[in-house]
Chain A
Amino acid sequence: MTTEKSENKERIGVYVCHCGSNIAGIVDVQDVAEWAGRDLAERGVVVSRDYKFMCSSLGQELIEKDIQEEGLTRVVVAACSPHLHEATFRTACSRAGLNPYLCELVSIREQVSWVHTDKEAATEKSKAVLSGGVERVIHHEPLEPLHVPIHPATLVVGGGISGIQAALEIADAGFPVYMVEREPSIGGHMAQFDKTFPTLDCSACILTPKMVSVGNHPNINLFTWSEVEKVDGYVGNFTVTIRKKARYIKTELCTGCGICQEKCPKKLIDDVYEAGLGYRKAVYTPFPQAVPKYPVIDRENCTFFQKGTCKVCQKFCPTDAIDFEQEDELITVQVGNIILATGFDLFDPRKVSQYGYGRLANVFSSLEFERLTNAAGPTNGNIVLRDGVTTPRAVGIIHCVGSRDRNFNNYCSVICCMQSLKFAHLVHERTGATVYNFYIDMRTAYKEYDEFYQRILEEGTLFVRGKVAEVTGAARSPGEEGRLIIQVEDTLAGKQRRIPVDMVILSAALQPRYDAKEVAHKFGISCSANGWYIEKHPKLDPVATMTEGIFIAGCVQGPKDIPTSVSQGAAAAARILGRIQQKEIALEPVRASVDQDKCSGCRICNSMCPFNAIIFHEDRMVTEVNPALCQGCGTCIAACPAGAISGTGFSDQQILAQIEGLLMVNFEHARVAELG
Chain B
Amino acid sequence: MTENFEPVIIGFTCNWCSYRAADLAGTARIKYPPNVRLIRMMCSGRLDPSFVMKAFSEGADGVLITGCHPGECHYLEQNYKALRRFLLMRRTLAQFGIEPGRVKLVWASAAEGVRLANEISKIVEEVRALGPLNWPKWKDNGVHKIALHELEEV
Contact = CB atoms under 8 A, between A and B. Distances in A.
22 contacts: A110-B25, A111-B22, A116-B34, A128-B37, A132-B39, A524-B74, A526-B68, A526-B110, A528-B110, A546-B20, A608-B45, A610-B76, A634-B41, A634-B45, A635-B46, A635-B81, A638-B47, A638-B49, A662-B39, A663-B8, A672-B139, A675-B132
Nearest to B85: A638
Interface residues of A, number: 61
A79 to B, nearest CB: 12
B137 interface: yes
B51 interface: yes
A10 interface: no
Nearest to B47: A638
A527 to B, nearest CB: 8
A118 B34 contact: yes
A115 interface: yes
Contact of A633 (B17, B43, B55): B43
B58 A665 contact: yes
Contact of A659 (B6, B16, B58, B117): B58
B97 interface: no
B3 interface: no
B66 interface: no
Contacts of A662: 10, 37, 39
A288 interface: no
A527 B20 CA distance: 12
Interface string A140-170: 0000000000000000000000000000000
A603 B50 CA distance: 20
A111 B37 CA distance: 8
Nearest to A647: B46
B93 interface: no
Nearest to B51: A655
B43 to A, nearest CB: 4
Contacts of B33: 116
A354 to B, nearest CB: 30
Given A83-B19, A527-B111, 5 more contacts: A107-B22, A111-B38, A114-B27, A608-B78, A659-B60
Contacts of A632: 42
Contact of B137 (A125, A652, A656, A676): A676
Contacts of B74: 524, 546-547, 633
Nearest to B7: A671
Interface residues of B, number: 61
B27 A633 contact: no
Interface of A: 81-84, 107, 109-112, 114-118, 121-122, 124-125, 128-129, 132, 521, 524, 526-529, 534, 546-547, 590, 608, 610-611, 631-635, 637-639, 641, 643, 647, 649-650, 652, 655-656, 658-660, 662-663, 665, 670-672, 675-676
A534 B110 CA distance: 9
Nearest to A546: B16
A112 B34 CA distance: 7
B55 A659 contact: yes
Contacts of A638: 45-49, 85
B39 A655 contact: yes
Given A529-B112, A637-B46, A672-B136, A610 B78 contact: yes
Given A635-B43, A672-B58, A643 B32 contact: no
Contact of B46 (A110, A111, A529, A650): A650
B40 interface: yes
A82 B110 CA distance: 15
Interface string B69-89: 001101111100110010000
| A-B residue pairs, 5 tightest by C-beta | A110-B26, A634-B46, A635-B45, A672-B59, A633-B75
Contacts of A590: 42
A109 to B, nearest CB: 6
Which residue, of A82, A528, A635, has the highest number of chain B Cβ atoms within 10 A? A635
A129 to B, nearest CB: 6
Nearest to A116: B34
Contacts of B72: 521, 526
B40 A635 contact: no
Nearest to A125: B34
B51 A633 contact: no
A118 B58 CA distance: 25
